[in-house]
A and B are shown apart, each in its own frame.
Chain A
Amino acid sequence: MSATTPGAPPIPATPPPAPRPAPALASRGSRSVRGTLVTILLLSIVNAVALFAMFILVMQESWAVFGIAAAVTIALNVIYLRRGLLPAKYLAPGVLFLVVFQIFVVGYSGYIAFTNYGDGHNSTQQDAIDAIIQTAQKRVPDSPAYRVTILEQLGGYAFLVTDPDGDVLVGDEDSPLERVGNAELDGTGKAIALDGYTALGFSDLLGAQRDIADLSVPLSDDPNDGALRTPDGTNAYLYLADVVYDEQADSFTTLDGTVYRDGGEGAYVTDAGSELAPGWKIDVGFDNFVRAFTNDDIRGPLLGVTLWTFAFAVLSVATTFALGLFLAIVFNHPTMRGKKLYRVIMVLPYAFPGFLSALVFLGLFNQEFGFFNQVLLGGAPIPWLTDPWLAKFSVLFVNLWLGFPYMFLICTGALQSIPEELSEAARVDGAHPWAVFRLIKFPLLLVSVAPLLISSFAFNFNNFTLIFLLTGGGPRDIEAGIDAGATDILITLVYKVAFGEGTGRDYGLASAFAILIFFIVATISIVSFRRTKALEELN
């Protein structure tokens, strides 16, 4: 500020231009030709894809998805074409991906958690009935092969059968086989046409294969004699059904009188409890959640696995942060030489894909043939992955190796953003370097790094890749009822339940677990984020 000479009148200065309001700035920005062209290009690609998708959806008659796709496309166009709406322009892609990949996924898992979807309950009741009827048709052991021609009349199908004796019979779904005399025969004696019907050749069959394959023509009035079915349109065999479906009573009856009724749990059961496979998917309400907590087989290991999951996540974050921070401080020294080289080497573990690293470490840790035991330890047979506690250590060690570069990078960035004046002032005041770090640098560092620590905790809480590839859940506890190991975290337990390493796939129970994990992690994250606001007071 220049001092004015005393006594002189103040120099009238032109007032500084009023600050431009932000919306006006934004609209000025969108007037550039390049920006407009980019907007046109990107929006036209999005619109083209969306229109193509909507066309397919109309053909498939999925009206709900079509409506959603149309609404989203219109919304995107409005956001990017209208002037203003700047926050929406920034947030739209992120929110779209959040909804598709997070909110929809969580919602759908939640929906599945309330059903019994899994092995044996795969589809709808009608599909289950059709499958039971289909598999119940057993060929009568000494059934002769009847030559057959498919006949069509008024949209219904019939069989023109030449039995091995040369007799010609005709019948359809409702009328048993009866002899006819006026059928047209071909050179080999097979009946190939009949008055009043249209004979179908192989290419004519193609449009109605399902109907013809499902057609059962009774041999006689007695259903116990069986029925003729054709698997390939040219030969028919005699089949007897193991179970018969009664549509009115919605039940299946076997030949010896056992009745299977809808048991309310998504399967046909007898009074004694034996089931017909397959069943179907039904809503079971809170059953899966109740089972997660009350089934002894699951509840026993569940507590141990939960404790280990928390321990694993906390220790992973703590060790990677400690090592990353230590290295960041060491390499932050202004006069250190070769900093760039060291930084590149430090970041290499982060650059390798986690899958690759986990599998390589699996080989390195092999008790007899692994590099660590054979070369570094001179042949000591240390059971890195087969002893429960050593396996826990190995998993943490590999996670440390994989995770410290990330912490190193963010701590480097955060350290460089702390103004030097504060540390200098502290040193001038006579503070010990450790006190400088503890009282000034660390709190300021935590302000920027704390949210990343929380997200790292959430990531490691669900670090499926590492655990599954390195130990597969760890040395298995063979006393436990389910397949839970020493290094199993909640998410690998869910995977084993869902994909049936033990008892068949149970997506409903696995989704219930997944929702529970979601609540745990969400609660911890929300609480932690609230606490980090207190840190911002320091700044």
Chain B
Amino acid sequence: MKVTRSLLLTGALATSAALILGGCSPAEEDPGQSPDSAGSLIVWGDDRVEALQEVAEQFEADRGVTVEFVQKDFGAIRDDFITQAPTGNGPDIIVGAHDWLGKLVQNGVVAPLELGTAVDAFQEVAIAAMSYEGQTYGLPYSVENVALVRNTELAPDAPATFDDLIAAGTAAGTEYPFLVGLDPAASDPYHLYPLQASFGAPVFETTADGTYDADALALGGEGGEAFATQLAAWGAAGILNTNISGDIALEEFIAGKSPFYLTGPWNIPAIAEGGISYAVDPVPTAGGQPATPFVGVQGFFVSSQSENPIAANDFLVNYIGTEEVQTALYEVGGRAPALLTAFEAAQSDVDVAAFGAVGADGVPMPNVPAMDSVWSDWGSTQVAIINGQGDPVELWRTMVANIESSIAG
């Protein structure tokens, strides 16, 4: 009895295991492992990669190389890529923001991308953003920046200076003369940057070839301290309020509680839907110099561990860099295309033209790895200054000292 039962058990186990195992065919390995990896490209992107399905099929028909898209959360792509690339199982191409570039190069996970003659076909600022230490690493596809959105019913004229803006805002009689989305703990140095730039206080000095010099922090000095003093004044006057987050600012502007709103093209659909008749203007200067915003560029990078560098280069330069694809990405993402011809074609959209005109004078956000050390101190110091928690110049100087010491490591 015992012998039969345990034999029965073992036999049944072996059979069912074999059946289940047979069902799970080992041919379904994930692509990206050899030998399938030669002849296929893996691209990581967010939900916008759906617009690329057509061009991927075209590429496969022309070149015989399959392109597989993996959708990931945009914020997670950079760190996942850095962790996964050294294992050899990472993607061949990733979609990313240009300010990731410093970190990606610091970790040795991206390869330079040779654009050849196509370099001249893109906006200069886009190519500059995709470059690091004199080497181009990515193919740009979108350019975005903030500008001043004006409710034309509450403020018929575009203000020339920031003081004019405050006067017009107060004269309009609304609850807020000016709105910008900040954060109670971290402010938003990105949005406030045009005002800071108008005082002559960029983050890093630019070198002769247009790239940022990570050793030359330019936040301090007279320009920065003047900006700090002005920030405290605006905070005390209620022009800037760290309790108003991005969501709250958008809601209040759509409700007509302010004639001016400093934001980017990502909020335009909601504003249009809210029935506001708006115009997009350059950010008025507050300190005398032009208020140039940060320009954010998104593009495609190639992994340094990719087994398909030639196919990847071909796909990016000759397929993604074409007008059709750049326009398709613009239509699904709402951000101005980086390719000049596509950008010209998109000018028919008034908003794109307006934001683009503002961004034409802009500078790319610094993509140097040292930038990480800057954001946190920069933001929390702005919070303290706006809320009057100390002498603005002292706080600004402490911030500059802290940032310099953390960059020095």
Contacts and interface: CB of A to CB of B under 8 A. Distances in A.
B172 interface: no
Interface of B: 5-6, 9-10, 12-13, 16-17, 20-21, 24, 26, 29, 33, 38-39, 63-65, 79, 82, 85-86, 103, 105-109, 111-114, 116-117, 133-135, 184-186, 241, 243-245, 248, 304-305, 307-311, 313-314, 317-318, 369, 372-373, 376-377, 380-381, 383-384, 387, 395, 398-399, 402, 405-406, 409
A232 B373 contact: no
29 contacts: A36-B9, A40-B12, A40-B16, A41-B16, A47-B13, A48-B21, A52-B24, A77-B13, A119-B369, A123-B86, A123-B107, A130-B108, A130-B304, A134-B111, A135-B105, A203-B63, A207-B38, A210-B307, A212-B310, A231-B310, A232-B310, A232-B314, A278-B105, A297-B405, A366-B184, A472-B185, A476-B383, A502-B372, A502-B406
B384 A135 contact: no
Interface in A459-503: 471-472, 475-476, 478-479, 481, 483, 499-503
Nearest to B63: A202
A503 B9 contact: no
B13 A209 contact: no
Nearest to B314: A232
A277 B387 CA distance: 40
B26 A206 contact: no
Contacts of B376: 476, 483, 501-502
| Interchain residue pairs A-B with the least CB separation, the first 9 | A131-B108, A278-B108, A48-B20, A123-B86, A231-B114, A44-B16, A122-B107, A213-B309, A368-B243
B106 A206 contact: no
A503 B387 CA distance: 26
A55 interface: yes
Contacts of A251: none
Nearest to A47: B17
A127 B9 contact: no
Contacts of B111: 134-135
Interface string A429-464: 000000000000000000000000000000000000
A278 B109 CA distance: 9
A159 interface: no
B116 A45 contact: no
Contact of B381 (A39, A51, A59, A478): A478
Contacts of A329: none
Given A131-B109, A209-B310, 15 more contacts: A31-B5, A48-B17, A128-B108, A135-B135, A231-B310, A232-B310, A232-B313, A237-B114, A278-B106, A297-B405, A367-B243, A369-B244, A385-B184, A476-B376, A502-B406
Interface of A: 31, 36, 39-41, 43-45, 47-48, 51-52, 55-56, 59-60, 77, 81, 119-120, 122-124, 127-128, 130-132, 134-135, 137-139, 145, 202-203, 205-207, 209-210, 212-213, 230-233, 235, 237, 277-278, 297, 366-369, 385-386, 471-472, 475-476, 478-479, 481, 483, 499-505
Given A128-B108, A209-B310, A55 B402 contact: no
Nearest to A55: B26
Given A51-B21, A52-B24, A127-B86, A210 B372 contact: no
B243 A210 contact: no
B32 to A, nearest CB: 12
Contacts of A77: 13
Contacts of A230: 310
Contacts of A385: 184-185
A481 B405 contact: yes
B184 A367 contact: yes
A500 B372 contact: yes
Contacts of B186: 472
Given A134-B304, A386-B185, A503-B372, A206 B65 contact: yes
